[in-house]
């Protein structure tokens, strides 16, 4: 824990962050695309059709990682928001702001692919009575509200504080999404991977985990790029204000 806090403190310096991220970018991007290429090839050509769902089952290789990333990214935003409000970490709000559009995109992809799977399996694209679907949609709205709040407030400090509060309030939706299939009896199936094991056959599980790791590294790559862009934008804004003064 002490070592982790020390590393976070080191990265509080924007210059150090830029140096570290510059070294990490080629590796995260390269490994992400390699894992995704291997994972999707494995999933499409190395797994058999399901005895009930047929080839439709392969939608899970896009849907499940996207749903996981939507939740993971929001948890990261909530953690960064807490760091911004409580510990005043100078890059915490940059991290949260930069992650939000990526999390929104993953969540939208999860909803879209889930609907495409639901039509042949459930007979409908959408079911308002399903707690997992509705709570996931609420997460997308929270993402969009968070992004809109950043853009609506001109003062960056006020925007960061307001957005951090919204992120922490919205974090209540994360456990609802996770436990919705256990708390309510709805159409959505239960979790396929738990702490006690997996209900997925190994022929599907390993390519799925490969793609999940690929999604995660793809997010890290894009996240670092967006954070670097935000740091440079803030530097340029500061220089312009100083020059104008």
pTM of the model: 0.86
CA distances from 205 to 60, 82, 117 (A): 11, 34, 18
Q: For residues 94 and 53, which has the higher predicted lDDT (pLDDT)?
A: 94
Q: Which two tokens stand for residue 33?
A: 């695309």
Residues 240/58, Cβ–Cβ less than 8 Å: no
- Cα–Cα nearest to 105, from 152, 76, 69, 150: 69
Contacts of 182 (CB under 8 A, 6+ apart): 190
Phi, psi of 128, rounded to the nearest 5 degrees: -65, -20
Q: What is the largest CA-CA distance in the chain?
A: 70
Q: For residues 102 and 199, which has the higher predicted lDDT (pLDDT)?
A: 102
Average pLDDT over residues 169-187: 77
- pLDDT at position 31 is 97
């Amino acid at each position: 824990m002490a070592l982790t806090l020390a590393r976070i403190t080191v990265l509080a310096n924007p210059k150090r962050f830029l140096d570290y991220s510059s070294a990490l970018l080629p590796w995260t991007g390269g490994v992400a695309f390699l894992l995704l290429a291997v994972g999707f090839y494995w999933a499409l050509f190395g797994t058999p059709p399901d005895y009930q769902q047929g080839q439709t089952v392969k939608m899970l290789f896009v849907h499940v990682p996207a749903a996981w990333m939507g939740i993971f990214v929001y948890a990261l935003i909530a953690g960064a928001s807490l760091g911004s409000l409580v510990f005043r970490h100078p890059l915490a709000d940059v991290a949260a702001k930069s992650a939000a559009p990526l999390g929104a995109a993953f969540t939208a992809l999860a909803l879209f692919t889930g609907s495409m799977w639901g039509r042949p399996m459930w007979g409908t694209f959408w079911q308002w009575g399903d707690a997992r679907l509705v709570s996931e949609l609420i997460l997308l709205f929270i993402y969009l509200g968070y992004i809109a709040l950043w853009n609506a407030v001109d003062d960056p400090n006020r925007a960061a504080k307001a957005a951090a509060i919204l992120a922490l309030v919205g974090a209540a939706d994360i456990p609802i999404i996770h436990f919705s299939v256990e708390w309510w009896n709805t159409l959505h199936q239960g979790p396929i991977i738990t702490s006690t094991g997996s209900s997925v056959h190994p022929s599907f599980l390993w390519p799925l985990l490969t793609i999940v790791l690929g999604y995660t590294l793809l997010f890290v790559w894009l996240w670092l790029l967006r954070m670097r862009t935000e740091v440079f934008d803030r530097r340029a804004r500061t220089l312009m204000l100083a020059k104008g003064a």
